[in-house]
Amino acid sequence: MELKVVGHRVKRYDGLAHVSGETRFVDDVIIPGTLTVKALRSPVSKGLVRGLDTSAAEAMPGVAGVITAADVPCNAYGMVPEQPVLVAEAIRYKGEPIAAVAAVDEDTALEAVTRIRLDIEEQEPVLDPLEAMKPDAPKVRPEGNVYMYGQRPFRQIVFGDVQTGFKEADLIVENEYFHPSMEHAQLEPQVSLAVPEASGRLTIHTVSQALYFHLGMLCGILQMEPNDIRCQAWAARTGSAWRHNAGFSDLNLAGGTVGGGFGAKNDLHADHVTALLALKTGRPCKWRWTREEEQLYSTYRGAWRMTIKDGVKKDGRIVARQMKSIRDAGSYTSLNAYVVDKHCFLAAGPYFIPNVYVQGYCVYTNKPPASSMRGFGVTPTTFATEVQMNRIAAELGLDPWEIRFRNAFRLGELTPTGRVVSSAALVEVLQKLAAQAGVDLPADLKALTSARKGEAS
């Protein structure tokens, strides 16, 4: 078969626009009369809003509108609909938005934010997930500091029986791994431009990486009708409530041009705020986060603490793996629960381990919500499990290449979640890598294939 794309160089459809400066990112959409948005953010990590007076800010010349929690039709959103757009009472992280201002220019908006009177009763935060898991820890949220997977406070993966596996093992290798939090550091910060159209429709120019997720969430927050049936299904699944009107669609997301995402734009950051201000003022509203806001308050890859206990045979085969991982999720679920899921599903990596037991905890702390970042939790899994492979090899006096060949998935084997591996290629990938790295593998490893064990290749 002649392939038209695979094996050929295909020019990017947007490449010429990128090199000529013609690509129009959200901040490059410039509409006369657009108001500049700035937010009042919490100065403390935990506390209660006891007083909020926006009258002085609203009275300032040049200020077109100020919004607080009272202006949000449905002040709870997310995969688990729980995160407020603007804090009503309980502050859960430093930098959490409490109010937002739309003004004629940036200076006026910044000045107006300083004129909002805010009284906070500061509370003791919990910032370390291990502390947060203790029964007497301060509560990030009233329902507890650990996300509940059904009846369990952790995602559980059970495959075979690890205790039996440990008994069969010649050696136990146990290590603890720590993966720090990371900021995506995409070049384009969070930007949103909401434009009320003459038709009554609201158009939001968005940097979203997840347009349909966000359309559903925004329809819930704004109590508007989504303009696509798939979003209604999504809103229903996420529990968002929205007013359903037959007839004209109210909300239009204009997106797809993203100046780098890496997972930083899978969560709503600014679109809900600009939308509310645009509806309140009747004017286009643009909010561009500063780099400082992006670094401090946007989502990020949460930190992980991972313990791996492996039972291994002298020939390098891993016969049992017990893994316990703790994810610092920050203050809201955002995509953390799914991040922990994927982390746990991949606990064996590309290796066949007959007995696996995994516990993945998603723990809340008084930090900005962590969320997705490149790999949804799998990157820390891979970091920990691959370092573990090297440590096992060192303890057994084996070559780090060899131990990977000994454990590599073969066709037909099972993953810890019970899936049949129908496409295995690690053996071949390792052989190719070794060749490119100039590593001369022993003849028996060169002869291996991903075919089923016991089958001639």
Partner 1 sequence: MYSIELKVNGRPYSVMVDLKTTLLEVLRDKLFITSPKVGCNTGDCGACSVLLDGRLVRSCITNALTAAGREVTTVEGLARPGEIHPLQRAFHEHYAAQCGFCTPGMILAAKALLDENPEPTRDQVREALSGNLCRCTGYVKIVDAVMAAAQEMAGAGALKAGRG
Binding site for partner 1 (CB under 8 A): 11-12, 14-21, 23-25, 27-28, 30, 184-189, 258-262, 288, 290-291
Taking the complex as a whole, the smallest distance from the CB of residue 186 to partner 1 amounts, in Å, to 6
Residues 255 and 322: their CA atoms lie apart, in Å, by 43
**Closer of 256 and 442 to partner 1 (Cβ):** 256
Positive or negative, the Cα torsion across 130, 136, 140, 141?
positive
Question: What are the Cα distances from residue 20, in Å, to 9, 17, 24, 29, 315?
Answer: 21, 5, 11, 17, 58
Residue 204 is classified by DSSP as E
| Distance in Å, CB of 67 to partner 1, minimum | 24
Which residue's CB is nearer to partner 1, number 17 or number 233? 17
Rounded to whole angstroms, what are the CA distances from 101 to 4, 54, 237, 302? 52, 9, 32, 30
Query: Considering the complex, what minimum distance in angstroms separates the CB of residue 288 from partner 1?
Result: 7
Structure tokens belonging to residue 137? 């820890």
In the complex with partner 1, the residue whose CB is nearer, 109 or 231, is 109
Q: Say how far apart CA 109 and CA 115 lie, in whole Å.
A: 10
Sign of CA dihedral 172, 310, 424, 413: positive
Least Å distance between CB 23 and partner 1? 5
285-288 and 35-41 strand pairing: parallel
Closer residue to partner 1 in complex, CB, 286/343: 286
Distance separating alpha carbons of residues 425 and 318, to the nearest angstrom: 19
Among 118, 94, 91, 116, CA closest to 103? 116
Q: Smaller CB distance to partner 1: residue 44 or 254?
A: 254
Q: Interhelix angle for 426-437 vs 400-407, to 10°?
A: 160
Least CB distance from residue 274 to partner 1, whole Å? 16
Beta strands (DSSP E) in 42-94 are: 47-53, 63-67, 90-91
Whether 195 contacts 202, CB under 8 Å? yes
Closest contact distance (angstroms) between CB of 292 and partner 1 is 8
- Residue 324 identity: K
Minimum gap (Å) between residue 85 Cβ and partner 1: 24
Q: Name which of 184 and 327 has its Cβ closer to partner 1.
A: 184
- Specify the residue for token string 């979003």: 231
Please say which residue, 14 or 197, places its beta carbon nearer to partner 1.
14
Q: Tell me whether residue 20 or residue 436 sits nearer to partner 1 (CB atom).
A: 20
How far apart, in whole angstroms, are the C-alpha atoms of residue 51 and residue 68?
A: 12
The minimum distance between CB 21 and partner 1, in angstroms, equals 3
